[in-house]
Structure 1
Amino acid sequence: MTTEKATVAAGCFCCFGCFDRGVEHLYNKHFKKDGIKTKVGYIGGHVNDPSYRQICSGTTDHAEALEITFDPKAVSYATLIEFFYRMHDPTTLNAQGPDRGSQYRSAIFYHSPEQKETAEKITAKVQQEHYQGSPIVTAIVPAGTFYDAESYHQLYLDKNPHGYEVTEGKDRYK
């Protein structure tokens, strides 16, 4: 089996701002049947091996992110990116719900020229179809080093089902 990686940042990786659903939790809920593997961590900053406390300070320039390992024969990169746009507000700069700071930015960290092209096409489509009145501010940038978050953050809502009230909610643009 050949696998690829997709890395996205859509706000807080654990609780997803005021929407009370974690980015990791939602991807696993919707794509576990497709064999994805996920881990949360930090990407896009200038400090090696940052801690959660450093990230929260807003001084490292890292984003809280999700790294997805997937089999493109089971689920496409395009499908994963389309889902990314359904789970958060891509029009708010450095913020999701009550969470504020560059660590909560909306970003797609691509791992190949093909991923970049796909992310740009999907972003343009979503902009045209769902956000004509507000520009999408999602950054589409090359993936750098991904640093795993601390173990207590991994699968946080599975380990702490009462830590946040998980609700299904609705698609952002249905």
Structure 2
Amino acid sequence: MAIATFGAGCFWGVEYFFRQVPGVINATSGYMGGGDNAVTYEQVKKGTTGHAEVVQVEYDASQVSYDDLLQVFWKNHNPTSLNQQGADMGTQYRSVVFFHDKEQKQQAEASKLALMRSGKWGLRQIVTEIVPAQTFHKAEEYHQDYIRKNDLPSCHIEY
């Protein structure tokens, strides 16, 4: 089993989309990027901890590739929006790929470059950070699988 970690705004929608991907074993909402200190949602939502809302994806690499996961990531948020996705504003909602090894870093950088070269976003700059993974802090249980548990429509659209 392999692990990938992505931040793309509200983790509820990000988790929802990754759960739909064949080969994804689990998608867990949490926090990363603000260091090792344990945090709560109440702390992170203030935007002062340095953490981003993220989803840690456990996947079977024989069924789905990291590149496939990157494509889901790019398609389901606006990577040109700095520290904001829709109405969610602040560094905790930044677009970020946390890589777990050298290969993930290379693939993430290559996919970002390919997206920039595609012209899909016109002259807008892709602001997605590609940074080393840090300590993952699992979000509170009520955030896990939130959209399904609350019978909500998805909070993201495919771009």
Which TM-score band (shorter chain)? over 0.9
* Distance in 1 of aligned mates of 2:91 and 2:44: 9
Check conservation: 1:42, 1:63, Cα contact below 8 A.
yes
- TM-score (ref. length: structure 2): 0.94
Q: CA RMSD in A?
A: 1.4
**Pair 1:123 & 2:112 matched:** yes
Match of 1:166 among 134, 137, 154: 154
Instruction: Provide the secondary structure at the position in 2 that maps to 1:107.
Output: strand
- Residue in 2 aligned with 1:83? 72
Letter in 2 for 1:11: G
Task: Give the direction of change, closer, same or farther, for the CA distance of 1:39–1:127 in structure 2 (3 Å limit).
Answer: same
Check conservation: 1:47, 1:60, Cα contact below 8 A.
no
- Residue in 2 aligned with 1:136? 126
Instruction: Provide the secondary structure at the position in 1 that maps to 2:38.
Output: coil
Check conservation: 2:17, 2:72, Cα contact below 8 A.
no
Count how many residue pairs are aligned between Structure 1 and Structure 2.
158
Structure 2 gaps, min length 5: none
Deviations 1:105-145 (A, max 9, x none): 00000000000000000000011111241110000000000
Letter in 1 for 2:16: H
Letter in 2 for 1:4: A
- The structure 1 segments of at least 4 consecutive aligned residues displaced by more than 2 Å after TM superposition are 164-169
